[in-house]
């Protein structure tokens, strides 16, 4: 295996970006940022109204398509439509996500199935459907998986969410090493924001009826999540801008809120020192 030089992508104009969860929040902001750089877009979401609203904010005519990222066959069909309609994909943003709260011992099977389905399998399904064809095309490209700082921390009341986001971080790290082994022209980033005002505190709006059983203690944590999200200092647009700066710089870890690094350092030190974990979340 030779030295893998990394894959900064700076020439965006005319190239294709696929964004999941593009009907709201960070996904919408990524769509606006990608369109501003002259990219051709494919926007996927379960929320067609949200996708229409995103499309209305853009100058061009993106491909929009209903796609439940937790369903492998939906994502495969979306990939078929994108590759045949727009050609090769250069940026794949696996961004769609949902949040559930509550004590770990009161989580429901539905909480797990829904959250793992969207937050983890959504990313895995995107990688499986798009990356083999991106590699085969031989062109440069990048996969940007939206995790969270919750992918590095352990937040009380967020065990399900944290478990999915930690999984997205390690999935991304493994993939980075594998692409280097193959000397593929595809880079990877894991986008890890802290709180930003988006629709994430209302993620229940997208919970499928067949997975409706919700953690009975969720309400204890919902108000705190809403307040934290609403008081986030960076906007979704800020996060999208920082994401593109990270892509241009070929940065794997894109941490949008530098102050949170102290909490990550504490967790890492706790592990290395074999200390009982510190609860770094302010109350």
Ligand X SMILES: NC(=O)c1ccc[n+]([C@@H]2O[C@H](COP(=O)([O-])OP(=O)(O)OC[C@H]3O[C@@H](n4cnc5c(N)ncnc54)[C@H](O)[C@@H]3O)[C@@H](O)[C@H]2O)c1
- Which residues here bind ligand X, judged by CB under 6 A? 20-21, 23-27, 45-47, 50, 67-70, 95-98, 118, 146, 148, 193, 195-196, 198-200, 203, 206, 229, 232
Kindly state the smallest distance separating residue 68's Cβ from ligand X, in Å.
Answer: 4
Kindly state the smallest distance separating residue 254's Cβ from ligand X, in Å.
Answer: 11
Catalytic residue among 161, 195, 221, 244: 161
Kindly state the smallest distance separating residue 276's Cβ from ligand X, in Å.
Answer: 26
Cβ pair 270, 262 in contact under 8 A: no
Dihedral Cα 167, 149, 29, 97, nearest 10 deg:
40
Cβ pair 25, 198 in contact under 8 A: yes
103 is catalytic: no
Q: Which is nearer to ligand X, 2 or 56 (CB)?
A: 56
Spatial distance between the Cα atoms of 236 and 242, rounded to a whole number of angstroms? 10
* Count of C-beta atoms within a 10 Å radius of residue 258: 8
Radius of gyration in angstroms for the set of CA atoms belonging to the chain, rounded to a whole number: 18
Kindly state the smallest distance separating residue 251's Cβ from ligand X, in Å.
Answer: 17
Spatial distance between the Cα atoms of 138 and 240, rounded to a whole number of angstroms? 26
Angular region, 274: left φ>0, alpha ψ -120 to 50, beta rest = left
Catalytic positions: 161
């Amino acid at each position: 295996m030779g030295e893998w030089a990394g894959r900064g992508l700076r020439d965006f104009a005319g190239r294709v970006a696929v964004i999941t969860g593009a009907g709201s929040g960070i996904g919408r902001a990524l769509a606006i940022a990608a369109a501003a750089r002259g990219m051709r877009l494919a926007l996927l979401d379960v929320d067609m109204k949200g996708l229409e609203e995103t499309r209305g904010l853009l100058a061009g005519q993106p491909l929009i398509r209903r796609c439940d990222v937790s369903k492998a066959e939906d994502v495969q069909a979306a990939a078929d439509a994108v590759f045949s309609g727009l050609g090769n994909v250069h940026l794949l943003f696996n961004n769609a996500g949902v949040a559930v709260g509550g004590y770990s011992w009161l989580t429901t099977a539905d909480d797990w199935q829904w959250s793992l389905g969207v937050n983890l399998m959504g990313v895995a399904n995107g990688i499986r459907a798009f990356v083999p064809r991106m590699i085969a095309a031989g062109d440069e490209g990048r996969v940007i998986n939206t995790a969270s700082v919750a992918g590095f921390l352990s937040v009380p009341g967020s065990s399900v969410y944290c478990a999915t986001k930690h999984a997205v971080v390690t999935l991304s790290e493994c993939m980075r090493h594998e692409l280097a082994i193959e000397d593929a022209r595809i880079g990877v980033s894991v986008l890890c924001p802290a709180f930003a005002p988006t629709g994430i505190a209302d993620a229940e709006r997208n919970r499928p009826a067949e997975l409706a059983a919700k953690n009975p203690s969720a309400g204890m944590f919902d108000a705190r999540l809403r307040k934290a999200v609403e008081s986030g200092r960076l906007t979704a647009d800020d996060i999208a801008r920082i994401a593109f700066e990270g892509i241009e710089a070929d940065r794997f870890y894109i941490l949008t809120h530098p102050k949170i690094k102290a909490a990550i350092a504490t967790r890492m030190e706790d592990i290395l020192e074999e200390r009982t974990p510190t609860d770094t979340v302010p109350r």
